[in-house]
Amino acid sequence: MKTWLITGASSGLGLDMTRKLLARGDRVVACGRRGERLEPLAAEAADRLRIVRFDLTDTAALRREVDAAFAAFGRIDVVVSNAGYGLFGAAEEVSDEQIDRQLATNLTASIQLVRAVLPHLRAQGGGRIVQLSSEGGQVAYPNFSLYHASKWGIEGFLEAVAQEVAPFGIDVLIAEPGPTATEFGSGLDRAPEMPVYDATPAGDVRRGIASGAFAIKGDAGRTVDAMIQAADQREPRRRLALGSTAYENIHRALLARLDDLTTQKAVAYSADSDG
């Protein structure tokens, strides 16, 4: 039996993961702002489920609840940083408040969660951090610039942290799902549209999403199953692409970036000092 701490556990992939883990006999600290959606599970697994309600952007509350969770269960094997949402709009369209909320929720809160759990994971001799990113942590689309900033940012943060904490038996898994049938689309925070972007790629993406032209191939249940299976492995990969769309888009983007880098070799080396 493992013990998991999951943020964003009251909806989407987090709620599905909580259900699946409890069903197989594990213990879960389920964190979310809408704890009422978790109440039915408490009746079936009261001794294995700890429901925690707080806003992850409240760093002081986050630290208190993390400390309390480790104190209550003694050990937490896997910390799943799943909470987040998407901001939709061209960079010029989004408001300062929307930018602050996007980065505070997806980036700063995830950073502070990792910082809060690390002392406990070190003290217990190891553990695993699973970060829910997205194919949007490796590729980018118009109208999602701030969302991408949060996902590219958290992936860079964890690449460094993984090296810092590996000597303590702590490892990191970054999950990168493609478009998946969850509540993500309906929960998008949308900026007011500026007509000047109608005839641009940003406008094309707006129309494509509105018309349903973008296929959503990812299955939420299968995505969660793959994440749990990867987290159960003795030595998981650093990154896990989930869904054919994510695989194809990330593969294409990485090849293009590598090709661009290869053509720059002479210029790159020319910047070295003679010494």
Active-site annotation holds for 151: yes
Q: Phi/psi of residue 25, each to 5°? A: 100, 5
Q: Is 268 exposed, middle or buried (0-12, 13-18, 19+ CB in 10 A)?
A: exposed
The tokens describing 99, both together, are 């930018």
Do 172 and 123 form a contact (C-beta atoms < 8 A)?
no
Catalytic choice (85, 147, 150, 197): 147
How many C-beta atoms surround the C-beta of residue 265 within 10 A? 9
Catalytic choice (10, 110, 134, 150): 10
Q: Is 249 exposed, middle or buried (0-12, 13-18, 19+ CB in 10 A)?
A: buried
Nearest alpha carbon to residue 12 among 221, 156, 205: 221
How far apart, in whole angstroms, are the C-alpha atoms of residue 275 and residue 182? 56
Active-site annotation holds for 141: no
How far apart, in whole angstroms, are the C-alpha atoms of residue 119 and residue 267? 44
Catalytic choice (133, 134, 145, 150): 133
The tokens describing 130, both together, are 């699973």
The tokens describing 19, both together, are 């259900």
Helix residue ranges, H only, 57-179: 59-73, 96-103, 109-123, 145-165
Q: Which residues are catalytic?
A: 10, 133, 147, 151
